Amino acid sequence: MEQLKSMDQFNELKQEERVVFMFTAGWCPDCRVIEPALPSIEADYPEFTFISVDRDEFIDVCSELDIYGIPSFVAFHEGKEAGRFVSKDRKTKEQIESFLDSVSVD
């Protein structure tokens, strides 16, 4: 999964057709739990571009999007938020897939 490198990159990426930002941190144990499942999720959902966002490095983005728990996912479609799976709870592969299935791109 590609790592977000700058605010400019974030603003450009969210204008794309289908992008999912995963908010995470190196110290987050719940984030480590889902890491092994992420490659297969990415492979199963090729219509999305997945971007990892380090919440410590991009705290302003987290604040702007009301991301107060990690891991969390926010999907954008052409600049508009298309869905969010945001909480402090541990997520399963099945829950993440269910979220991706529900993302509206109309």
pLDDT by 10-residue block (mean), the chain, 106 residues: 95 95 95 95 96 96 93 96 91 95 82
What pTM did the predictor assign? 0.94
Tell me the catalytic residues: 28, 31
Number of neighbours of residue 41 by Cβ within 10 angstroms: 18
Please name the residue ranges forming H helices in the chain: 7-13, 29-34, 38-44, 59-64, 93-102
Domains in the chain, number:
1
Question: Which domain does 85 fall in, by range?
Answer: 2-102
The pLDDT value recorded for residue 106 is 63
Q: Which residues contact 98 (CB under 8 A, 6 or more apart)?
A: none
Q: What is the CATH number of the domain that holds 88?
A: 3.40.30.10
Q: Residue 39 has what pLDDT?
A: 97
